[in-house]
């Protein structure tokens, strides 16, 4: 019985550690849309804390330089971009402010 409790406890601890790592792949906040005229031109998001995000799925209605937005993003750690400008992200939620 004691051995089973130890195994269950260790399993729960490993699950908690694994799930907490998943939460690190998301970021939310506010910022502005920025048009960048290099690499063929593209829109990115500059957060209020100065981070640069390169979204792969920015809706066309948000392609407005200087537009203030609130966002929730998923960081795509294993993807790169020709823009070489910021962290590649997938937009989960975005709205105009």
Residues paired with 70 in a beta bridge: 30, 95
| CATH superfamily name and code, 25-96 | NigD-like N-terminal OB domain (2.40.50.500)
Which residues of the chain have a pLDDT value below 70? 1-23
pLDDT on residue 10: 60
* Distance in angstroms (rounded) separating the CA atoms of residues 58 and 15: 33
Question: Is the pTM value of this prediction over 0.85?
Answer: no
Residues paired with 95 in a beta bridge: 70
**CB-CB neighbours of 66 under 10 Å:** 8
What residues does each domain of the chain span? Answer: 25-96
**CB-CB neighbours of 43 under 10 Å:** 17
pLDDT on residue 7: 64
pLDDT on residue 56: 96
pLDDT on residue 13: 62
pLDDT on residue 29: 98
Local structure of 44: helix, strand or coil: strand
* Distance in angstroms (rounded) separating the CA atoms of residues 94 and 97: 10
CA 70, 61, 24: angle at the middle one, nearest 5? 35
Residue 8: which H helix or E strand, with range? Answer: helix 2-23
pLDDT on residue 22: 53
pLDDT on residue 16: 53
pLDDT on residue 37: 95
């Amino acid at each position: 019985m004691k051995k089973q409790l130890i195994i269950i406890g260790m399993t729960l601890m490993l699950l908690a550690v694994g799930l907490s790592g998943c939460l690190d792949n998301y970021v939310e906040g506010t910022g502005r849309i920025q048009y960048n005229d290099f690499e063929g031109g593209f829109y990115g998001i500059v957060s209020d804390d100065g981070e640069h995000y390169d979204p792969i799925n920015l809706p066309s209605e948000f392609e407005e330089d200087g537009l203030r937005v609130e966002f929730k993003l998923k960081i795509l750690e294993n993807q790169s971009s020709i823009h070489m400008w910021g962290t590649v992200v997938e937009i989960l939620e975005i709205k105009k402010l």
